[in-house]
Amino acid sequence: DQQVKQNSPSLSVQEGRISILNCDYTNSMFDYFLWYKKYPAEGPTFLISISSIKDKNEDGRFTVFLNKSAKHLSLHIVPSQPGDSAVYFCAAANAGNMLTFGGGTRLMVKP
């Protein structure tokens, strides 16, 4: 039973355009959501997070949107850069409990 799903295994975007990565969850008890980025041969690195009391959080080129009624979150990268090419994982948690990760989306930003 996958509680966190990333339905697009890959995404290709032109440099300078917007990248939108999507994530769906099923557990209504989740109240904190995170995005991690992973380059080959490295561990995941934290990118941005959002609490369930918010519907948007922005950090530079990265914005995460949360739609609680739809149990859906998305990560927007604007503008996309070739260095953003990596695998992106969304993760969810409820306070004090473990993170549950999605399966990841491979983003390729073409110059």
Partner 1 sequence: EAEVAQSPRYKITEKSQAVAFWCDPISGHATLYWYRQILGQGPELLVQFQDESVVDDSQLPKDRFSAERLKGVDSTLKIQPAELGDSAMYLCASSLQRPPDTQYFGPGTRLTVL
- Kindly write out the interface string for residues 42-61 of this chain, putting x where it contacts partner 1 by CB under 8 A and - elsewhere: xxxxx--x------------
102 sits near partner 1 (criterion: CB under 8 A): yes
Part in contact with partner 1 (CB under 8 A); list of ranges 13-21, 64-72, 74-82, 92-100:
92-100
- 73 has which bridge partners? 23, 66
Sole binder of partner 1 in the list 13, 64, 93, 109 (CB under 8 A): 93
Q: How far is CA 90 from CA 9, 16, 43, 48, 110, in A?
A: 12, 23, 14, 10, 22
The minimum distance between CB 53 and partner 1, in angstroms, equals 13
The answer, yes or no, to whether the previous bond of 79 is cis (omega within 30 of 0) is: yes
The H or E element spanning position 21 is strand 19-25
Part in contact with partner 1 (CB under 8 A); list of ranges 13-21, 53-61, 62-70, 95-103:
95-103
Looking at residues 60 to 89 of the shown chain, list those that interact with partner 1 (rule: CB under 8 A).
Answer: 89
CA separation for the pair 78, 56 (Å, rounded): 15
Q: How far is CA 63 from CA 1, 78, 95, 98, in A?
A: 28, 8, 22, 24
Binding site for partner 1 (CB under 8 A): 4, 6, 9, 32, 34, 36, 41-46, 49, 89, 91, 93, 95-99, 101-104
